[in-house]
Amino acid sequence: MKNFNGKVLFLDRDDINTDEIIPAKYLTEISKEALKPYLLEDLKLEGFNLKDIEDSSVVITRGNFGCGSSREHAPWAFEVNGINLVIGESFARIFRQNMFNCGMMAVSLQKDQIEMLFDEFAKEKDVYIETDFENKKFTIRAGSKKKDIVFSISEFDSKLVKSGGWLDFADKNY
Amino acid sequence: MGKTIAEKIFDAHLVDTPEKGINVLRLDAVFCHEITTPVAINDLEKKGKDRVFDPDKIKVVIDHVTPAKDSKTALQGKILRDWSKRNKIKDFFDIGRNGVCHAIFPEQGFVRPGATIIMGDSHTCTHGAFGAFAAGVGTTDLEVGILKGVCAFKYPETMKIEVEGSLKEGVFAKDLILHIIGKIGVNGATDKVIEFTGTVISKMNMEERMTLCNMAIEAGGTSGICYPDEKTVDYLWKFIESDFGSKADALKEYSKWISDEDADYAQIIKIDASEVVPVATFGFKPDQVKPVSEFENVKVDQIYIGSCTNGRLSDLEIAAKVLEGQKISDDVRGIVSPATPEIFKQALDKGIIKVFMDAGFCVTNPTCGACLGMSNGVLAEGEVCASTTNRNFNGRMGKGGMVHLMSPATAAQTAIKGYIDNSPLFKG
């Protein structure tokens, strides 16, 4: 199973699209690793600095994240940067499916929970998330501040995460 | 309780239910292009699984960057070409015979009512115009599709959009779909199939239905879908003639897919077609839509007519009607890309290409081209394009560029004026 723990990068906007996550001009690459320097290159967002990607492992964002293209290059660009978990209010269908297909996670939380995360943690300096996958629980920390958040994903998505993605699962079962 | 068309297709293709509400479906076709498939091919090779579930059900085209622009895109084409050859995939459309995937595959008769289709391309929803369930997927889903001929989806909820009345003269399918997206928003149909019905859809030809379904994804929809009818049968007849005794037989067979009257919908939206006017987008999201008449002196640098949304013959015909005897503004550059070689040929025969060239347009080969800023027609920083494509995301057509989505008629008139303007075809 992939790592779902680490420092949080907050992306405070709805509808962040796949062209912003990885511009189409880099789709000529045929290795995932080659996408590494270009993650979120075209994202214009107040307070967001490309350098913030470097030590981050988790993204917290708003609604309809990953809308647009079907490019799996979007999850891959996160993956090769060590980010395997995106938490948001909602996701575009293909992006969400691509994440789980790669054994990564795109987890939806209620709007008020996302509000709370932004209100209470986004301005803190170092925010970390720990994931208890078995109990479906995130623990978010910043200094002495700490919150536990229970999340849910479907049984099927859970199987994909455990088996490392859809290819291995499908190859075994169909 | 009756079933929707999508539910009927799901039930007829069900292979497994790994969890309640998750369906693994048998696929009737897997479409492939050179951008999202090579990674899947390399991965299958690396895992010792370089095979395909059925070479006759896999259709392949090079369309995004063609002819190749550099060594990297040449390699993507080569990987696809070599793979097709060694796996005995006969429907491979290489340079000279290639066109934009969502235009060439229907044109070749590969899309049938009731079929399940996936492709590593978000605009795969286009093929729902034929009454198929067609969805864009990522590379891993594509890889499993290629290897096993299956794909997993949530059992579909359907949003029904009923368009009644009639569209005003000079208002086109593109205006209607932009109007709809403006109404329901960029995530208004997320995880849902959008079923387009009503008298307006019945009157539309297959090309117009493809324009509608093409943009279902811009509202987050898994697939757009129209009911198969006489027009579907007429379009497909040359491919299905040997399967049916008559067109009536084909229609009877295909009609079984049409949603039952007592089917259950997640949402029903009614649209009065007479309220729709020519529109264009103004921001970086496809739901930021307003009437063309409200654009005041919005100057553009480039006009792009083409793509899987609006690069078909009827689109070029409409644009040519506006451009006939006119010159485009000295301040703009016009680019037109017929979506397939067949469309290109017909446009040549009908004198449409001459109209474009006389007006001052550059005519390019069939390709996805400028739409996603991967090859020809990329914008410079700060430039603006009036485009018949489907996506206006920030930087989509080139870093720092701005795209206004609109119909071919509005794009053609904008080319003449140099600023966004209603075409004389609209009498409203």
Ordered domains of chain B (ranges, CATH): 5-271 (3.30.499.10), 280-417 (3.30.499.10)
- Asked if the structure places residue A30 within a domain, the reply is yes
Task: Indicate the helix (H) or strand (E) that contains A19.
Answer: helix A18-21
Per-residue pLDDT averaged across B202-231, rounded?
98
* B310 contact partners, CB below 8 Å, separation of at least 6: B174, B211, B388, B389, B407, B408
Task: Work out the pLDDT band at B184, boundaries 50, 70, 90.
Answer: very high
B367/B109 Cα distance (integer angstroms): 20
B81/B75 Cα distance (integer angstroms): 10
- CB-nearest partner of A42 from B21, B137, B394: B394
- Asked if the structure places residue A10 within a domain, the reply is yes
Q: Which amino acid, one-letter code, is at B23?
A: N
B121/B64 Cα distance (integer angstroms): 11
Mean pLDDT per 10-residue run, chain A (174 residues)?
A: 97 96 93 96 91 96 97 98 98 98 97 98 96 98 97 96 90 89
Distance from CA of B297 to the nearest CA of A (A): 26
* B259 contact partners, CB below 8 Å, separation of at least 6: B2, B3, B4, B5, B8, B158, B160, B195, B197, B227
Residues of B in contact with A155 (CB under 8 A): 18-19
Which whole-number Å values give the CA distances from B63 to B57, B105, B371, in the listed order?
A: 19, 12, 12
A100/A106 Cα distance (integer angstroms): 7
- Asked if the structure places residue A1 within a domain, the reply is no
B40/B33 Cα distance (integer angstroms): 11
Which whole-number Å values give the CA distances from B137 to B74, B223, B264, B289, in the listed order?
A: 24, 11, 26, 27
Calculate what percentage of chain B has a pLDDT beyond 90.
99
Residue B415's nearest CA partner among B343, B318, B319 is B319
Backbone angles phi, psi at A25, to 5 degrees: -65, -20
Region of B423 on the Ramachandran plot (φ > 0 left; ψ -120 to 50 alpha; else beta): beta
Look at the alpha carbons of B106, B111, B112, B114 in this order and tell me if their dihedral is positive or negative.
Answer: negative
* Chain B contact for A63 (CB, 8 A cutoff): yes
Chain A residue with CA closest to B378: the answer is: A25
Helix (H, G, I), strand (E, B) or coil at A86: strand
Q: pLDDT by residue (tens digit) across B35-79?
A: 999 999 999 999 999 999 999 999 999 999 999 999 999 999 999
B185/B409 Cα distance (integer angstroms): 24
- Asked if the structure places residue A122 within a domain, the reply is yes
Which range of residues forms the domain containing residue A49?
6-173
Distance from CA of A138 to the nearest CA of B (A): 24
Look at the alpha carbons of B380, B385, B388, B394 in this order and tell me if their dihedral is positive or negative.
Answer: positive
Residue A48's nearest CA partner among A12, A75, A86 is A12
- CB-nearest partner of A19 from B21, B65, B393: B393
Residue B386's nearest CA partner among B299, B327, B320, B310 is B299
What number of other Cβ atoms are within 10 A of residue B128's Cβ? 32
| B288-311 as b/e: b if 16+ CB within 10 A | bbeebeebeebebbbbbbbbbbbb
Task: Work out the pLDDT band at B12, boundaries 50, 70, 90.
Answer: very high
- Asked if the structure places residue A92 within a domain, the reply is yes
Which whole-number Å values give the CA distances from A49 to A75, A129, A140, B284, in the listed order?
A: 19, 20, 22, 21
pLDDT at position B95 is 95
* B172 contact partners, CB below 8 Å, separation of at least 6: B208, B211, B278, B318, B407, B408, B409
A11 forms bridges with which residues in the sheet? A61
Question: In a mutagenesis test of the B interface, which of A25, A28, A96 is the best target, namely the one with the most B β-carbons within 10 Å?
Answer: A28
The tokens describing A42, both together, are: 């075209």
State chain B's mean pLDDT as an integer: 97
Per-residue pLDDT averaged across B292-301, rounded?
98
Per-residue pLDDT averaged across B268-287, rounded?
98
- Asked if the structure places residue A37 within a domain, the reply is yes
**What letter would DSSP give residue B123?**
G
How many separate domains does chain A show?
1
* Chain B contact for A118 (CB, 8 A cutoff): no
Look up the pTM and report it. 0.96
Cβ atoms of B92 and B3 closer than 8 Å: no
The tokens describing B73, both together, are: 């895109």
pLDDT at position B402 is 97
pLDDT at position A30 is 86
Which whole-number Å values give the CA distances from B275 to A146, B169, B179, B195, B420, in the listed order?
A: 53, 12, 10, 20, 21
B302 forms bridges with which residues in the sheet? B333, B385
> To which residue do tokens 């008629």 refer?
B409
Q: pLDDT by residue (tens digit) across B219-276?
A: 999 999 999 999 999 999 999 999 999 999 999 999 999 999 999 999 999 999 999 9
Per-residue pLDDT averaged across B369-393, rounded?
95
- What CATH number did the domain enclosing A163 receive? 3.20.19.10
- Asked if the structure places residue A23 within a domain, the reply is yes
Cβ within 8 Å, pair A94-B70: no
* Chain B contact for A129 (CB, 8 A cutoff): no
- Asked if the structure places residue A52 within a domain, the reply is yes
Pairing of strands B192-197, B333-336: unpaired
